[in-house]
Structure formats: C-alpha cells, structure tokens
Amino acid sequence: MDQPAIGGAHLSAVVLMKLSREFFQQPTCTVAEALLGKVLCVHGKRIILTETEAYHGFDDPASHAYRGKTPRTSIMFGPAGFTYVYLIYGMYHCLNIVTEQEGYPAAVLIRGGICEETQQRINGPGKLCRYLSLDRRHNALDVTAHPDIYLEDRNLSFPATATPRIGIKQGLDKAWRFVAKKQSSFLL
DNA sequence: GAATAGATCCGC
DNA sequence: CGGATCTATTCA
C-alpha cells in the first residue's frame, strides 16, 4: 500500500490521493462517472475532468473491443489502470483508461476538463490529447505507477448528467457519457 | 493487397 | 456539411 502519510504531524496537508488500481477495477460506468472532478496529471499539466465516456463488454457495438481482441485493442482486455491511446481520423489521439477485471474489455474515454492553471475549458478528446502532447507513445502506461501520468482524488464530487456518447453510430441507446453539471460551484 | 469506416476537429 | 489524413480491420 502506498497511502500518503497523514499522521499527526501534518497541518494543512491537502490529501492528494493517487487513484489506485482498485478504483479502476470498478464497473466502467461507475469509474467514468466517478472520474468527474478527479484531476488528470500529465507531465505537470493538471486537468480537472468534466466529461468522460464508458466503453465496455461484448454487447457494446461502439467499443473497439466489440469484435474481440485485436493487436490494437488487446490493452482493453488487460488489467485496469493502464492507458489506451489510439490515433483517430489520421490526425487526432484519444486517451482512455482501462477498467474492470483482466480479460473483460473495458475503458473510459477522457473527453474534456478544465485546465487547473488557466481555468481554460478543454472539450473533445482530440484537443485534450493535443494539449497534453499525448500520442501512441503513451499507450499501455500504468497510471497507478507512472511518475508523470496519473490521476488525483481531491475529494471533489461533481454531479453528473448521463447522455448518449458522441461521435458514434451504434450504441446510441446507452447513456454512457457523463458530463459534470454546470451548477457545480466549482464550474462557475 | 485493396477497400472502408472511423470514440475528431475546423472552416466554409 | 465536407475535407484533412492515416491506419486497424475486413474482405477478396
């Protein structure tokens, strides 16, 4: 266990808990919704997440793993907490975090958030990866162990609205996209 | 090998 | 609404 030391000596210590593998092993929609308000840290840049999508299982035609394991999607079948970064439309990258148990294909797509430093809103997975300089070199990294790519829990919880996912033509019956409600005091 | 559709974004 | 731009996957 690598829990932070929050013993008696700490005064105004902010509890910055790095999200653990157990967190990502939960059901994919649970993880996707719980990620709202969590902070994605990549090479020093911090994004407060406000929009995610779940892709999982064998009954989800929008999932890359729908037709079984392929070289590209094999990471989705692996253990939770690893990145799945792929190139889309020849020019953009999308960042996902693998969820659930090994052998079950599942991941959460990171779609948007707010840059902590500039308060600038970032919407869209392609723009988010471009902003963070993420590409396929960052595929299959363990976000529960990587020193520069991880997620933080600040004990914020953003109420979520669930909607159908964006940019897909199948699986529109599922409300697996989670967006932070704007009423949240944090989001002005 | 060739064909095709794609978890996007931007500009007209 | 179409173009950019490329590749994973499927089909012959």
pLDDT digits (tens, 9 = 90+) for A107-141: 999 999 999 999 999 999 999 999 999 999 999 99
Dihedral sign, CA of A104, A109, A114, A116? positive
- Strand B proximity list, CB < 7 Å: A 53, 55, 62-65, 76, 84, 88-92, 94, 96, 107, 109, 123-128, 165-170
pLDDT at A156: 87
- The owner of tokens 């600040």 is A154
Alpha carbon A110 to its chain's center: 4
pTM score, whole prediction: 0.90
Nucleotides in C strand less than 7 A from protein CB: 4-10
User: Which band of pLDDT confidence, cut at 50, 70 and 90, is reported for residue A7?
Assistant: very low
Nucleotides in B strand less than 7 A from protein CB: 6-10
Whether residue A30 is predicted with pLDDT greater than 60 in this model: the reply is: yes
> Mind giving me the DSSP string for A26-54?
S-HHHHHHHTTT-EEEETTEEEEEEEEEE
User: Which band of pLDDT confidence, cut at 50, 70 and 90, is reported for residue A185?
Assistant: low
